[in-house]
Amino acid sequence: MATVMLVRHGRTAANAGGTLAGTAPGTHLDEQGEAQANELGKLLALIEPAAIIASPLERTMQTAGIMATHIGGSKEFIVAKEPGIIECDYGDWTGKSLADLSDLPLWSVVQNHPSSVVFPSGEGMAAMQGRAVSAIRRWNELLGPDALYIAVSHGDVIKSIVADALGTHLDHFQRITIDPCSVSVIRYSDSRPFVLAVNGNGSNVERFVTAAKETSTEAAVGGGTA
């Protein structure tokens, strides 16, 4: 099936300040986040994705839009909004500082048993993973087995997609690190997904994507991380 490059949005003031932005509107990239998106777009300029999709929140659409100005040569990309990969709805936790949230009893459950967590007045983490993985698989089918595409999303969402591809229980997804404007690459096949890169930079990811496109054997694409 298809190869997806999962990009976390660039840094925001909420990231820098330790605030859980969640799905609240109005969170934009800060100066460093804009620079990150430009740098990544330039690093991946030679890649010609079949599509660029993004969570409909401002910070992800902004990241995708900046990257799209560099990618694909003369081809102009219209970023497609995909609500299935939107940030987790943290409910009453939205907008709160991580320092304050870490004192709550639920924090320990989020860290150790996230599959059981439903945020107060918000979304369950298992439900988040289910709709995110479903969205990626839907785009795989839509774009076809030879497609390479970019999906711009959020840290917890990307971690949950990577965990699914690794065959790892959601309760272990906190072991995965996804930095702002990092890239993780998954190649889907008829038998199973292959995780080619996690939390990588653009030059490493380009190497893994090239390898995935040039080989047709599962063994050749099964071992890389970056």
For 74-128, write each residue's pLDDT tens digit. 677 889 999 999 999 999 999 999 999 999 999 999 999 999 999 999 999 999 9
**Is 169 within the bounds of a domain?**
yes
Domain total in the chain? 1
Structure tokens at 80: 């497609």
What average pLDDT does this structure show over 57-82? 90
**Residue 31 burial class via C-beta count within 10 angstroms: exposed 0-12, middle 13-18, buried 19 and up:** exposed
**Is 46 within the bounds of a domain?**
yes
**Is 170 within the bounds of a domain?**
yes
CATH number at residue 29: 3.40.50.1240
**Is 150 within the bounds of a domain?**
yes
**Is 49 within the bounds of a domain?**
yes
Q: CB neighbours (10 Å) of residue 166?
A: 16
Structure tokens at 62: 């902004």
Q: Structural domain of residue 210, as residue ranges? A: 3-221
**Is 226 within the bounds of a domain?**
no
For 157-191, write each residue's pLDDT tens digit. 999 999 999 999 999 999 999 999 999 999 999 89
Could you give the CA distance from residue 206 to residue 202 in angstroms, rounded to a whole number? 6
Cα 40 to Cα 65, 112, 212, 223: the distances in Å are 12, 32, 20, 24
Global pTM value? 0.91
Contact 56, 81 (CB under 8 A): yes
